[in-house]
């Protein structure tokens, strides 16, 4: 797509699992990627004693489960993906369990070490200040691991949903 649409290099923007795809693209096609925006990525590994990993994995599945009522799905969305006061109902439509399963399969099939660093491209790590997938204890992990190649921007009043919660702040950070 990058070759066909522009022929130059692109800035890849990936939200959550999409950041894995963006980073892997930068690894596989470094000449086509001039930077990677990592929006609402989970921590590389949760800190010792972090008890919520299993619950977060369950919330991902339950929040997109079409067999559950909207009310039940909203409970998972509000608790795990959206900051207080944000409209979690925007994520009630557009969930596809087959896509979720494909992401889980891809995640298990590709070692994290292959995609984590995004090749040699500059990295912009956009974090929701209230994102349970990125505990505050892990907020600086990209900077700690990749130094000057990584820039971190924490967006207030946002959680894992990030983009529908604070679209202007996300755009401003990417443009800057």
Query: Cα(147)–Cα(74) distance, rounded to whole angstroms?
Result: 38
Q: What is the mean pLDDT of residues 128-151?
A: 95
DSSP secondary structure string, 33-88? EEEEEEESPPPSSPPTT---HHHHHHHHHHHT-TTS-HHHHHHHHHHHTS-TTS-G
Query: Cα(57)–Cα(133) distance, rounded to whole angstroms?
Result: 10
Determine if the pTM surpasses 0.95. no
With a CB cutoff of 8 Å and minimum separation 6, the contacts of 2 are 8, 9, 10, 29, 32, 33
How do residues 1-57 score in pLDDT, each as one tens digit? 899 987 789 999 999 999 999 999 999 999 999 999 999 999 998 766 566 777 887
How do residues 109-118 score in pLDDT, each as one tens digit? 999 999 999 9
């Amino acid at each position: 797509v990058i070759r066909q649409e522009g022929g130059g290099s692109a800035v890849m923007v990936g939200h959550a699992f999409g950041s894995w795809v963006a980073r892997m693209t930068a690894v596989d096609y470094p000449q086509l990627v001039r930077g990677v925006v990592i929006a609402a990525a989970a921590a590389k590994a949760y800190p010792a004693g972090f008890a919520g990993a299993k619950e977060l994995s369950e919330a991902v599945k339950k929040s997109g489960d079409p067999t559950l009522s909207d009310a039940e799905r909203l409970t998972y969305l509000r608790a795990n993906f959206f900051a207080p006061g944000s409209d979690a109902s925007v994520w009630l439509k557009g969930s596809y369990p087959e896509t979720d399963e494909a992401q889980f399969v891809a995640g298990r099939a590709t070692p994290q070490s292959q995609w984590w660093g995004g090749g040699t491209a500059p990295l912009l790590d956009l974090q929701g200040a209230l994102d349970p997938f990125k505990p505050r204890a892990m907020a600086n992990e990209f900077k700690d691991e990749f130094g000057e190649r990584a820039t971190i921007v924490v967006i207030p009043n946002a959680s894992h949903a990030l983009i529908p919660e604070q679209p202007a702040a996300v755009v401003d950070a990417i443009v800057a």
